[in-house]
């Protein structure tokens, strides 16, 4: 962008958006008054949360450190330093990793139940685990004074950024992670406990195919309400490449997998492998538009009825593999629906020619089911007693035929959600009672969004900026009516519930499904006293805060802009339902949430109106913002600045070309002087080569850094294979060096340079590119003279022919 254009863009960006960002500024003020922030010395890359709900102490896993934070008091937080020895870090770097990655990133913190915390870190790509004594908050040490550690392979990922999940179930650790240095092997395993019972998934793409693990949950059966004697289960959520689709590209699908707590593997088949591993596809599809979201990024587990495991629901954040713009959706799945799919038919993956084979008959007892009272009555009280035919079927059929289907609670464009937490608020709607779901969503730009969902209606309540835009939210934890939120470098605490969160009449009215009402006298939002049978529409309440005509008839703003500017047109969105813009057809725009960025061109003149859906889908969209872009002629000063900018570029190019020619001339003069000094006697090839090659290299050495070594040809591949022999070359100018019977030939690169800069061969309207073609022809003449001199060097006559590189699909 030109300097004058940059200056005007900055001025417009400062002027226009200010008055339309009132809602965002008020959110910042509210956030600053409610937020408690902790600052840590020398602590970065916070990635792991572990909360002691009795004491309120929050343990943070970070880079080379574990921090204990008292969430009730803003006191100085003690820290454990657990770093990598210097020699181990150097060894990690020599294996091709960066210095930043060769630290110890704490990825796992879990209570052991005996007053200790089990902590695991990447430890310079060699995962290690240690024990934290909670009473004195120190790492346990061995007799020689070193930290007492054990291998963390299979318990913790090797790389800091690898997707990973783990859950503790009955004192036993279950993990889903990579299990090798290269990150190519993936396991869902029982990582601790009795050695003979540490089992994992089969190494087969039918079981796991390039998975990206997202979350896990331990569902423990209610001992007082479990008539079938069902076993406890562990659920894993991930995204993997689907092998059931025959397409030319890799199709990602979200999955849920289930294993049983009492599974210890098979006797002959599936030894030390899961005999209960089943997985099913999760479908998050907007039925109205038919759009499907196929990449799962986060999962939150919530019991809708506390104490009842069967009421468990899983809320997931989804994105789309196919959408170019940022887009996020939230879908929810019940444990009951997942169980029905796991008890349904198996998918047959085997194929013969072009016809699907008849599915194999399902043996008995049913493969993949957890132990229960009925199986134990039949004599199958352990997975070791299952027949081989059952285990063989299980090994070949881990995928279920049916999918777990859900419609999105909300879909938002222009935003990427990273973390999710959910609270349920019981509300009264007439004579019926239902739960209002409040979604606490963290973005990749450090914002916390709160969205209330009641039935089919979703309402955006807050957008709170908590961290700098460069810091994504990576943890959200709800505790005693408060939310603990972290980015890689910061931790904050703010209220998660209550009507006082909503400072304006309009936002409070939209929180009416949560039981909130705006008090005019107090100018505050507080809990409502709802009379039996009272039904109030939030849209009606919003209209009381201001005339609907004012809200849906925005004032037209005229913006005088210059060509080349990038103008941001704000649109305040009060609902998570989508907003769309009406604008001229020939325009260059890009969306930023509900805002619109316009690059001003001659065709950009016209009216831009933002429409947002606020009520139900059956209601017409409400205009929220309107702008009229008026293109004005550039001022004289702008023309002068543009002209000076073009002159500067032309001068720079001329200086570069002259410098290149002078260097070439000096090389020729030096070479001729050396040749004259060495004339009159015969010299060997090695003696002439000393002027061009380092003393330790030879023309045949692969380590030679010379441009004329056969190990460094300009083009050395043809159809993906190395070509080290001579041959007939097609007449193409590729900028390579080769030799034949007549000696060395240096191909003219002037055509190549012209092709490397599209449009350079055509002078612009102002003539800013004039003289470039002449300069390149001069370079070609200089290279032709250098070519004749180099042809006399005998050392180069044996160089192999390097063919031009071709690409093939």
Has residue 144 got a pLDDT over 90?
Answer: no
Query: Are 569 and 595 a contacting pair, CB within 8 Å?
Result: yes
294 within 8 A of 251, measured Cβ to Cβ = yes
Q: For residue 685, give every residue at least 6 positions away whose Cβ sits within 8 Å of its Cβ, in sequence order, or none.
A: 794, 795
**313 pLDDT more than 90:** yes
Q: What is the pLDDT of residue 40?
A: 86
In this prediction, residue 521 carries a pLDDT of 82
Residue 807's pLDDT is 31
Query: For residue 753, what are its two tokens?
Result: 């340079």
Residue 714: the pLDDT is 35
Task: Quick: pLDDT tens for 418-429.
Answer: 999 999 987 766
Supply the pLDDT for residue 798: 40
d(C-alpha 69, C-alpha 482), whole Å: 15
**Range in 371-385, 447-461, 480-494, 730-744 the model is least confident about:** 730-744
Q: Using CA atoms, how far apart are residues 463 and 186, in angstroms rounded to an integer?
A: 37
Q: What percent of the chain has pLDDT over 90?
A: 42
Q: Whole-angstrom Cα distance, residue 155 to residue 174?
A: 8
DSSP letters along 70-95, please? Answer: ETTS--PPPEEE----HHHHHHHHHT
Higher pLDDT, 191 or 562: 191
Q: Is the Cβ–Cβ distance between 239 and 211 less than 8 Å?
A: yes
Mean pLDDT of the chain: 77
Residues of the chain with CATH 2.60.40.10: 3-26+550-634
Residue with tokens 């002159």: 647
Cβ-contact 736, 802 below 8 angstroms: yes
Give pLDDT, residue 634: 57
CA distance 610 to 117: 53
pLDDT value at position 625?
A: 86
Delimit the CATH 2.130.10.10 region(s) of the chain: 163-351+361-414
Per CATH, the number for 163-351+361-414 is 2.130.10.10
pLDDT tens track for 81-100:
999 999 999 999 999 999 99
How do residues 158-216 score in pLDDT, each as one tens digit? 999 999 999 999 999 999 999 898 889 999 999 999 999 999 999 999 999 999 999 99
Which strands, in side-by-side order, build the sheet including 79-81? 48-52, 57-62, 65-70, 79-81
With beta carbons less than 8 A apart as the criterion, state whether 577 and 458 touch.
yes
Range of lowest pLDDT (141-145, 287-291, 497-501, 547-551):
547-551
Q: According to the model, what pLDDT value does residue 75 have?
A: 79
Model confidence at 218, in pLDDT bands (50, 70, 90)? very high
Read off the pTM: 0.69
- Mean pLDDT (whole number) for 344-350: 83
**Residue 681, pLDDT above cutoff 50:** no
Summarize the confidence of residues 499-503 as an average pLDDT. 83
Q: Decide if 253 contacts 399 (C-beta within 8 A).
A: no
Instruction: Please give the average per-residue pLDDT across 465-480, as a whole number.
Output: 93
Report residue 5's pLDDT band, with 50, 70 and 90 as the boundaries: very low
pLDDT at 746: 37
Sign (positive or negative) of CA dihedral 186, 191, 195, 196: negative
SS percent in the chain: helix, strand, coil, step 5 = 20, 35, 45
Average pLDDT over residues 595-613: 84
Q: How many residues are recorded in the chain?
A: 809
Q: How high is the pLDDT of residue 457? A: 80
Nearest CA to 20 among 572, 481, 596? 572
How far apart CA 627 and CA 632 sit, in angstroms, is 16
- From the list 433, 199, 225, 185, the residue with the least C-alpha distance to 311 is 225
Burial tier of 280 (Cβ tally within 10 Å: 0-12, 13-18, 19+): buried
Residue 636 has pLDDT above 90, yes or no: no
Long-range contacts of 285-293 (CB under 8 A, 24+ apart): 285/405, 285/406, 285/407, 285/408, 286/329, 286/407, 286/408, 286/411, 287/407, 288/617, 291/320, 291/411, 292/320, 293/318, 293/319, 293/320, 293/327, 293/329, 293/331, 293/408
CATH superfamily membership of 3-26+550-634: Immunoglobulins (2.60.40.10)
């Amino acid at each position: 962008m030109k300097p004058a254009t940059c200056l005007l863009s900055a001025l417009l960006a400062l002027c226009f958006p200010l008055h339309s960002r009132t809602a965002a500024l008020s959110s910042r003020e509210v956030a600053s008054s409610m937020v408690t922030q902790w600052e840590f010395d020398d602590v970065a890359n916070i990635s792991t949360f572990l909360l002691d709900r009795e004491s309120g102490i929050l343990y943070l896993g970070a880079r080379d450190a574990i921090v204990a934070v008292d969430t009730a008091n803003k006191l100085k937080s003690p820290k454990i330093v657990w770093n990598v020895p210097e020699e181990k870090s150097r060894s990690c770097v020599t294996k091709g990793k960066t210095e930043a990655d060769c630290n110890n990133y704490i990825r796992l913190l879990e209570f052991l139940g005996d007053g200790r915390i089990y902590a695991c870190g990447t430890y310079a790509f060699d995962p290690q685990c240690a024990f934290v004594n909670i009473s004195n908050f120190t790492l346990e040490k061995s007799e020689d004074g070193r930290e007492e550690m054990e291998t963390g392979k299979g318990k913790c990922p090797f790389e800091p950024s690898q997707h990973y999940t783990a859950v503790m179930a009955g004192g036993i650790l279950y993990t889903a992670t990579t299990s090798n240095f290269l990150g190519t092997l993936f396991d869902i395993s029982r990582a601790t406990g009795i050695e003979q019972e540490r089992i994992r998934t089969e190494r087969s793409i039918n079981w796991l195919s390039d998975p990206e693990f997202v979350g896990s949950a331990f569902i423990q059966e209610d001992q007082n309400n479990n008539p079938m004697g069902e076993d406890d289960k562990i659920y894993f959520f991930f995204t993997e490449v689907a092998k059931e689709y025959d397409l030319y590209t890799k199709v990602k699908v979200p999955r849920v997998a289930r294993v049983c707590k009492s599974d210890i593997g098979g006797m002959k088949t599936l030894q030390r492998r899961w005999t209960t591993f089943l997985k099913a596809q999760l479908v998050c599809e907007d039925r109205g538009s038919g759009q499907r979201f196929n990449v799962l990024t986060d999962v939150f587990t919530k019991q809708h009825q506390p104490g009842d495991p069967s009421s468990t629901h899983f809320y997931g954040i989804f994105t789309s593999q196919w959408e170019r713009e940022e887009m996020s959706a939230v879908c929810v799945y019940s444990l009951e629906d997942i169980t029905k799919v796991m008890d349904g038919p198996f998918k047959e993956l085997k194929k013969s020619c072009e016809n699907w084979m008849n599915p194999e008959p399902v043996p008995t007892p049913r493969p993949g089911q957890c132990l229960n009272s009925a199986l134990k009555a039949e004599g199958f009280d352990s997975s070791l007693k299952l027949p081989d035919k059952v285990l063989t079927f299980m090994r070949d059929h881990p995928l279920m035929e049916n999918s777990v289907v859900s419609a999105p609670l909300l879909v938002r464009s222009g935003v990427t959600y990273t973390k999710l937490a959910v609270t349920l608020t019981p509300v009264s709607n007439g004579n019926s009672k239902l739960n209002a779901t409040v979604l606490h969503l963290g973005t990749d730009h450090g914002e916390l969004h709160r969205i209330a969902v009641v039935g089919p209606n979703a309402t955006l309540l807050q957008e709170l900026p908590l961290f700098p835009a460069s810091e994504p939210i990576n943890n959200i934890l709800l505790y005693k009516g408060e939310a603990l939120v972290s980015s890689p470098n910061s931790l904050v605490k703010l209220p998660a519930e209550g009507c006082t969160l909503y400072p304006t009449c309009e936002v409070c009215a939209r929180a009416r499904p949560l039981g909130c009402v705006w008090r005019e006298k107090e100018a505050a939002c507080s809990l409502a006293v709802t009379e039996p049978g009272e039904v109030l529409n939030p849209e009606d309440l919003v209209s009381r805060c201001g005339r609907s005509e004012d809200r849906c008839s925005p004032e037209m703003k005229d913006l005088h802009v210059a060509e080349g500017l990038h103008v941001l047109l704000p649109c305040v969105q009060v609902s998570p339902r989508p907003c769309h813009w009406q604008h001229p057809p020939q325009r260059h725009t890009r969306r930023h949430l509900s805002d619109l960025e316009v690059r001003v061109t001659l065709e950009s003149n016209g009216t831009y109106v933002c429409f947002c859906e606020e009520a139900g889908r059956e209601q017409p969209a409400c205009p929220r913002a309107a702008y009229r872009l008026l293109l004005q002629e550039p001022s004289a000063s702008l023309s002068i600045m543009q002209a000076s900018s073009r002159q500067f570029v032309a001068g720079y190019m001329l200086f570069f070309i002259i410098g290149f020619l002078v260097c070439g001339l000096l090389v020729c003069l030096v070479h001729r002087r050396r040749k004259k000094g060495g004339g009159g006697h015969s010299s060997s090839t090695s003696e002439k080569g000393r002027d061009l090659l380092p003393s330790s290299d030879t023309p045949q050495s692969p380590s030679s850094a010379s441009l004329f070594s056969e190990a460094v040809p300009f083009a050395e591949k043809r159809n993906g294979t190395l070509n080290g022999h001579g041959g007939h070359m097609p007449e193409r100018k590729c900028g390579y060096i080769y030799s034949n019977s007549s000696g060395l030939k240096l191909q003219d690169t002037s055509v190549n340079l012209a092709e490397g800069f599209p449009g350079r061969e055509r002078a612009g309207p102002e003539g800013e590119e004039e003289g470039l073609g002449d300069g390149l022809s001069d370079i070609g003449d200089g290279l032709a003279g250098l070519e004749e001199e180099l042809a006399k060097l005998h050392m180069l006559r044996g160089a192999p022919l390097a063919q031009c590189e071709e690409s093939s699909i």
